[in-house]
Amino acid sequence: MPGVPTGRACDACRKQKKKCDEKQPACGRCLRLKVSCVGSGQQRFKFKQQQFSPQIKSKRSNDSRSEIEVEINRRRKIFC
C-alpha cells in the first residue's frame, strides 16, 4: 500500500518512538548513544492481499438479502 511505513526501525528507536535512519550495521542514533542496534532493517509487518472465496461471498449476500426481505415484510405488516 502506498504511503504506509514498512516498520523497519531498530528496537531502540522503536522503543523510544524515534526516527531510525536504518543504517547498517548500526543506525546513527544507536551509534550516538552507544547502545546496541538490534533489529535494524527487519521488516516487522507486511500487508497481504486477502482472497475471498466466491462461495462464501455469495452465501453471505444471500443470507443478508433474506434477512432484509424478512425485515421489510415485518415493517410492511406494521405500517399497512
CATH number of domain containing 74: 4.10.240
If DSSP codes are grouped into helix, strand and coil, which group holds residue 48?
coil
Residue 70 CA: distances (Å) to CA of 56, 67, 76, 78: 21, 5, 10, 13
Q: Judge whether 5 lies within some domain.
A: no
Cell 504506509 maps to which residue? 4
- Residue 4's pLDDT is 58
Q: Judge whether 48 lies within some domain.
A: no
Q: Judge whether 2 lies within some domain.
A: no
Contacts of 9 (CB under 8 A, 6+ apart): 18, 19, 20, 22, 39, 40
Q: How many domains does the chain fold into?
A: 1
Q: Judge whether 30 lies within some domain.
A: yes
Q: Summarize the confidence of residues 61-70 as an average pLDDT.
A: 80
Structure-model confidence comparison of residues 51 and 71, the more confident one = 71
Residue-wise pLDDT tens digits, 5-59: 566 788 899 899 999 998 888 999 999 999 999 876 666 556 666 666 666 555 5
Domain that holds residue 60: 11-43+53-79
- Residue 44's pLDDT is 59
